[in-house]
Amino acid sequence: MNLSFDNTQNAFAYKSTAALKKAKFLISVIQNPLMVKLATKATPLLMKMGLPLNGILRNTVFSQFVGGESLEESARVARQLGSYGVQVILDYGVEAKEGEANFDSVTEHIIEAIDFAATEKNIPFVSVKITGVASQLLLEQLNEAPRLRSGIHDSESEDAAWQRVKERMTAICDVASEKGIGILIDAEETWIQDPIDRLAIELMTYYNKEKVVVYNTYQLYRKDRLSFLKLSHSIAQEGKFLLGAKLVRGAYMEKERERAIQKGYDSPIHINKEHTDADFDTAANYCLQNIDTISLLLASHNEHSNLNVVAQMQENNITKQNAHIHFSQLYGMGDHITFNMASAGYNTSKYLPFGPISEVIPYLMRRAEENTSVNGQTNKELVMLNKELARRKAKK
């Protein structure tokens, strides 16, 4: 296998030396859990007090992790990435406030993003958080409701609010199907995930008959997700539709473990990273073994996991441009993976959030917290940034 993630010239060709130095500073700050904890608590509070933080945020974490405040601003970033063969997953990063009007507004923004993506050459996907179009309380109630023999939750079929959620997602998927854009449904916490899984399967049953429009997200740090992935595939085969599977390790580990202790139930999260890694790679291999009926989106910053899929592709003579295999990393992270894979000819993208600075703060704070909880990830980022800065200095 001749793919390597060590070529920093490829990885950072799109960044100026000044941008590299700024990225190095930001990643260094994010590496400090105490700094992240203080910033997470203080930033929203200071913004509520009306302090002029927008300029500072725009020139630091916002520019590092977000495409822009609008679709037009994000377009510039998307086109820059596209010039290096990197595609884009658009995400309206605003976390909706409770209320039907807010949920309808988020739905409209997502549809606008789909319409926009269809006009660009390198934006094949738009990401959707169900918590942006549905009440958190409603999702919790449905998650806890007893199931009827049919498998439907008690009260699910009569709940008018749930019907409106389905209508919003149907409106989104109708446009996506018509425009040829994939919809990636984000995973959430375990206590609201069940109705999301049910909705994802329901949407796939309708929209994924001939092509994959809808993807569900499987968080493999959960002990039950490998078996659920296989169950989802069985349901898809029985229902004669294609399964869209976005694989991630997971985003709510500390929150999940804390809640399990508070509520007195077994943690749904694997006991260690090794178990998570094993399930993740097994899930990826399972998708590849069934690549005719599963469309895989591997969303990972783990070098081994990406190389594992590449090795399996080569071993099984699966072409790099197979439409059912896509690799993705976050904008602002993992450039050594993204750009080297894109340069080698694989379907690769950046997950690119957009939205008003003041409204995207919760996303940015969560991203910072996640990065501090992943051992070695920020270290690797700093190693690659330092390596490229040293290469450029030596070249002068």
pLDDT surpassing 90 at residue 151: no
- Could you tell me which of 277, 288, 350 has the C-alpha nearest to residue 325? 288
| C-alpha distance from residue 230 to each of 106, 195, 233 (Å) | 32, 18, 5
Per-residue pLDDT at 368: 63
Partners of 246 in the beta sheet? 217, 297
Range of the domain at 100: 65-373
| Residue 48 is assigned to a structural domain of this protein | no
What are the tens digits of pLDDT across the range 29-84?
A: 777 667 666 666 666 665 666 665 666 677 777 888 899 999 999 999 999 999 99
Overall pTM > 0.95: no
Say if 309 falls within a structural domain: yes
| Within-domain flag for 43 | no
pLDDT exceeds cutoff 90 at 352: yes
Query: What whole-number percentage of the chain has pLDDT above 70?
Result: 87
In a domain, 229, yes or no: yes
> Is pLDDT at 152 greater than 90 in this prediction?
no
Say how far apart CA 385 and CA 373 lie, in whole Å: 20
Residue 362 lies in a domain: yes
Coil, strand or helix at 374: coil
pLDDT, tens digit, 9 for 90 and up, residues 178-193: 999 999 999 999 999 9
Q: How far is CA 384 from CA 274, 337, 351, in A?
A: 24, 11, 20
Type of residue found at 303:
E
With residue 195 as reference, give the H or E element that holds it. helix 190-207
Q: How many domains does the chain have?
A: 1
Confidence of residue 252 (pLDDT cuts 50, 70, 90): confident
Q: Does residue 378 belong to any structural domain of this protein?
A: no
Q: Give me the percent of the chain exceeding a pLDDT of 90.
A: 74
The answer on pLDDT for 150 being more than 70 is no
Longest dimension (CA), the chain: 71
Q: What does the DSSP assignment read for 84-110? A: TT-EEEEEE---PPSSHHHHHHHHHHH
Quick: pLDDT tens for 358-370: 778 777 776 666 6
Name the residue type at position 112: E
Question: What is the mean pLDDT of the segment spanning 246-263?
Answer: 92
Is residue 226, in this structure, part of any structural domain at all? yes
Alpha helices in 244-376 (DSSP H): 253-263, 273-289, 303-315, 335-343, 357-373
Measured CA to CA, the distance from residue 244 to residue 92 in angstroms comes to 20
- Is position 22 within any domain? no
Instruction: Dump pLDDT digits (tens) for 368-388.
Output: 666 555 555 678 889 999 999
Mean pLDDT of the chain: 90
Q: What is the CATH number of the domain that holds 262?
A: 3.20.20.220
CB 223 within 8 A of CB 268: yes
The pLDDT, as a whole number, for residue 185 is 98
- Sequence-distant (≥ 6) Cβ neighbours of residue 52 within 8 angstroms: none
Contact 105, 74 (CB under 8 A): no
